[in-house]
Chain A
Amino acid sequence: MSPLAAWQDAFAAGLRGAEHPLAAHPAFAVYRNTVWKGWIDALEANYPAIAALTGSDWTRAAAAAFAEIHAPSCPMLSLYGEGFADFLVEFPPAGLLPFLPDIARLDRGWTEAHLAADVPVLGFGSLAELDAGAMERTRCRLHPSARFAWFETTIPTLWLANRTDFEGGELLLDDRPEGLLLARPAESVEALVLDAAAFAFLDASRSGATLLDCAIAALATDPRAELGSLLGRLIGFGAFTDFIPIEPEPPHVPA
């Protein structure tokens, strides 16, 4: 190893608390503090609902523990913290707040939606252009900003309350399953609480299913689902970018 590389290894280890003559200088703390403050500030900023629910001190302590294991690999610190939700699952101080990892997943979803590619959303006109047989030959492409998940409790409602001007109050978590869709159809990220049928439709779209199979998935989840209004709601929200025609699969020819 070159002398410069060895020097940088020692300095970087000192930033993480290792003992070294360099790190013993009182001014070394300026570097250590700046680096850790940068990491922790970024995580606190990227997980605002966690900070709203647990307070700044708790969040910064959790962020420091996360940063010890996962320093950012990318200098765009708005993207730092992928994996924070999974980290919280194993983080003993979060044990009393078992909903935190799901809250963190939604904070992360917001970040990803916020920074996703700018692509026009699907308009209602495209829906009118579909002919009768198109349901089984077409699939909807999700907008690159679309992030959605299903929860067994009202995590979405709790998260929404903590991303707005929520001032404490009662905990809005109960045992009613709920989904949430986040997307950025224009400049700002929007949220839509999902019922089971809408989530099933989106989930099928994500796996590349045709419109027909998406509809079947929604109806299998809730036979009373009204498909027209469901699809209208999702298109109006900006969940999709376009309809993609699918070529029928060629008949299988045995070798």
Chain B
Amino acid sequence: MNHDLTAGLGLKPIHYQEALAASAGGLWFEVHPENYMADGGPRLTWLERMGARRPLSFHGVALSLAADADPDRGHLARLKDLVDRFKPALVSEHLAWSAWRGAYHPDLLPFPRTRQALTRIAANVHRAQDALGRPIAVENPSHYMPIDGHDWDEIDFLSELVRRTGCSLLLDVNNVFVSANNLRFSAEAYLDAFPGEHVAEIHLAGHAEDPDLGRALLIDSHSAPVADRVWALYERLVARIGPRPTLIERDDDIPAFAELMAERDRAHAVLTTCSRGVAA
């Protein structure tokens, strides 16, 4: 396990004081570095204070690794400044695109996993890792609709990306659950086939049913507690690959800090129980 990181939480401004005072062992906090790309201001001051107490993780949303374009130089430079300043324990991004032809789309957009896409994304991961001076972890996306033209299965694509770039993987179990539901495949089979030795971090989050299509279309909304079936998948995964730093993600309908900590403590218990099992 990475240092002493067990389970972490996304850092929310409304929970800042409680998060700073939290005393749980193994606790760490994740932020989107894009929210800190300012010249100054109170957010950076808060992050300094938190970084002095707890390990941080930077989870980027805007490198746009899957765009058929080089990562934006200015963005990469700002990311490097933040990484150098805060020295996060983990740095991750997504197998998706968001910036395209000068416009930033606040979402993680899909693409056909072609040979050309793999070449391009590997080059972009190389560029990012060279600029940052460290490897990054790349996250499996949520899928909502079938895309034509894939040359690669997603797990093979990610494994090949690891082989070509030396990056690691961030495995989002809720994304697997949502995608398996929407594209009709087995979440268990996907997780069982995922290359566990390359997983640097795990994400857990809640999802929602589409208001029009209901259960047929689940949305990775980060607006609810982690679902029981996702917990079950997580326990199965950790039992197979061993403990990894695990994040509870929540971005909407944010509850009291204690409620998020209870979910975080549940993940912590899964990780530490598993560690004891491995040691015994």
Q: Do A and B come from one complex?
A: yes
Which of A63-89 touch B at CB < 8 Å? 71-79
CB-based contact B68/A118 at 8 Å: no
Residues of A within 8 A of B42 (CB): 114, 187-188
CB of B169, distance to nearest CB on chain A (Å): 22
Q: How far is the CA of A11 from the CA of B98 in the complex (A)?
A: 11
Number of residues of chain B lying within 8 A (CB) of chain A: 46
Residues of A within 8 A of B219 (CB): 30
Q: How far is the CA of A12 from the CA of B68 in the complex (A)?
A: 13
Partner-binding segment picked from A21-29, A121-129, A197-205, A215-223: A21-29
In the complex, residue of chain B having the shortest beta-carbon distance to the beta carbon of A71: B103
Partner-binding segment picked from A33-41, A130-138, A146-154, A246-254: A33-41
Contact indicator per residue, chain B 93-115, by CB within 8 Å of chain A (1) or not (0): 00001111111111101111010
Q: How far is the CA of A185 from the CA of B146 in the complex (A)?
A: 52
CB-based contact B37/A76 at 8 Å: yes
Q: How far is the CA of A221 from the CA of B99 in the complex (A)?
A: 48
CB-based contact A71/B45 at 8 Å: no
Partner-binding segment picked from A1-9, A157-165, A226-234: A1-9
Interface check B17, CB cutoff 8 A: no
Interface check B40, CB cutoff 8 A: yes
Q: Known A8-B67, A28-B145, A30-B217; judge A77-B37 contact (CB<8 A).
A: no
Q: How far is the CA of A187 from the CA of B182 in the complex (A)?
A: 45
Q: Known A73-B102, A187-B42; judge A30-B114 contact (CB<8 A).
A: no
Q: Which of B75, B109, B111 has the most CB of A within 10 A?
A: B109
Residues of A within 8 A of B62 (CB): 75
CB of B77, distance to nearest CB on chain A (Å): 13
Residues of B within 8 A of A72 (CB): 103-104
CB-based contact A116/B68 at 8 Å: no
Q: How far is the CA of A35 from the CA of B62 in the complex (A)?
A: 13
CB-based contact B40/A118 at 8 Å: yes
Interface check A144, CB cutoff 8 A: yes
Q: How far is the CA of A3 from the CA of B68 in the complex (A)?
A: 9
A8's contact among B61, B68, B104, B144, by CB below 8 Å, is which?
A: B68
Q: How far is the CA of A116 from the CA of B67 in the complex (A)?
A: 31
In the complex, residue of chain A having the shortest beta-carbon distance to the beta carbon of B44: A118
Interface check A15, CB cutoff 8 A: yes
Interface check A173, CB cutoff 8 A: no
Interface check B70, CB cutoff 8 A: no
Q: Which of B41, B42, B219 has the most CB of A within 10 A?
A: B41
Interface check B213, CB cutoff 8 A: yes
Interface check B116, CB cutoff 8 A: yes
Q: Which of B35, B100, B105, B144 has the most CB of A within 10 A?
A: B105
Interface check A108, CB cutoff 8 A: no
CB-based contact A35/B107 at 8 Å: yes
Which of B24-69 touch A at CB < 8 Å? 34-35, 37-42, 44-45, 61-62, 67-69
CB-based contact B38/A79 at 8 Å: yes
CB-based contact B40/A4 at 8 Å: no
A27's contact among B102, B105, B111, B217, by CB below 8 Å, is which?
A: B217
Interface check B192, CB cutoff 8 A: no
Interface check A139, CB cutoff 8 A: no
In the complex, residue of chain B having the shortest beta-carbon distance to the beta carbon of A115: B38
Q: How far is the CA of A26 from the CA of B145 in the complex (A)?
A: 8
CB-based contact B35/A76 at 8 Å: yes
Residues of A within 8 A of B117 (CB): 4
In the complex, residue of chain A having the shortest beta-carbon distance to the beta carbon of B75: A75
Interface check B84, CB cutoff 8 A: no
CB of B222, distance to nearest CB on chain A (Å): 11
Residues of B within 8 A of A8 (CB): 67-68, 97, 100, 109, 111
CB of A118, distance to nearest CB on chain B (Å): 4
Interface check B210, CB cutoff 8 A: yes
Q: How far is the CA of A195 from the CA of B233 in the complex (A)?
A: 65
CB of B84, distance to nearest CB on chain A (Å): 17
CB of B16, distance to nearest CB on chain A (Å): 12
Q: How far is the CA of A3 from the CA of B149 in the complex (A)?
A: 10
Q: How far is the CA of A34 from the CA of B144 in the complex (A)?
A: 12
CB of A26, distance to nearest CB on chain B (Å): 6
CB-based contact B39/A115 at 8 Å: yes
Q: How far is the CA of A114 from the CA of B116 in the complex (A)?
A: 43
CB-based contact B116/A77 at 8 Å: no
Chain A contact residues, CB within 8 Å of chain B: 2-5, 7-9, 11-12, 15, 22, 25-28, 30-31, 34-35, 38-39, 42, 71-79, 114-119, 144-145, 184, 187-188
Q: Which 9 interchain pairs have the tightest Cβ spacing?
A: A38-B106, A75-B62, A118-B40, A71-B103, A115-B38, A27-B145, A27-B144, A117-B39, A4-B68
Q: Show 20 residue pairs from A and B whose CB-CB distance is below 8 angstroms, ordered by the A residue.
A: A3-B114, A5-B69, A7-B111, A7-B112, A25-B145, A26-B145, A27-B210, A27-B213, A31-B109, A31-B144, A34-B106, A74-B104, A75-B99, A75-B104, A76-B38, A77-B34, A77-B106, A116-B38, A117-B39, A184-B41
